[in-house]
Amino acid sequence: MTDRHLRTLDDVLTLLDGLFAPEADRWTADAASWWDGFYADRSKPVPFFAAKPDENLVSWLDRGLLTPGRALDLGCGPGRNALHLAAAGFEVDAVDLSPAALAWARDRAAETSAPVRFLRGDAFALAGTALRGPYDLIYDSGCFHHLPPHRRPGYLALLDRCLAPGGHFALTCFAAGAMGSELDDRDFYRGRGLQGGLAYTPESLRHLFAGLTERVLRRMHDEPPDSPHFGEPFLWTALFRRDDLP
């Protein structure tokens, strides 16, 4: 029988999600088990497993570009940036798909009594419900570049819904020429897969976030192993401000 079930935008997004092999999924609720496996061994020599905040985040706080308020950490992993924001005086909500990552983050928070509210789930589904915006800062360290192209409009809608006027959006993502796939968007739907994540150029980031005001866009600094901060030069760091009136 011919299938004509598509009726809503969510139906279309689910259809497009299904064009990717299941093992490529890093963005839907079904990806939780993959991320659980990734975080299962806390002793793995993964640089961002260390309890170190991103060097760009530390820099922007130290320079006064970011001031305490309400913050949302998207794809928080083991909580390293969420805990730093809490220590800096932010009221923090942190969301991740992986129960294993959140268990690790909660263990770290318990060691410092950091008042972070950790939430398990898909940020797109949680926006407007458990995610209690507006937020003065939305921080994304390594989540955005795992989204397929058809999920970008939902990401922008999340920012529009949850970011306060005058608030800041900041992210780190794969840099073209250094890490991540540089295929054209259309090629991802021709059986090529996401290949671990998407690489972005400064021009593409400026285009995608054109509704926001750019404050900083640079490569992440390379931090030595003994640094108290995390930094890898294959990533872009970007800071944007929402300047529209409420």
> Using the 8-state DSSP alphabet, how is residue 10 labeled?
H
DSSP string, 157-202: HHHHHHEEEEEEEEEEEEBTTTSSB---GGGGGTTT--TT-B-B-H
The reported pLDDT for the residue numbered 218 is: 98
The 10 Å Cβ neighbour count of residue 199 is: 21
State the Cα–Cα distance between residues 101 and 37, nearest whole angstrom.
Answer: 10
Tokens read off for 152: 């970008």
Roughly what angle, to the nearest 10 degrees, separates helices 32-39 and 99-112?
50
> Using the 8-state DSSP alphabet, how is residue 216 labeled?
E
With CA atoms as reference, report the closest residue to 150 among 94, 196, 198: 198
Q: What is the pTM of this model?
A: 0.94
Q: What is the mean pLDDT of each run of 10 residues along the chain (246 residues)?
A: 81 90 82 90 92 98 98 97 98 96 96 93 87 94 95 95 97 96 91 83 97 98 96 97 82
The reported pLDDT for the residue numbered 127 is: 84
With CA atoms as reference, report the closest residue to 56 among 146, 152, 140: 140
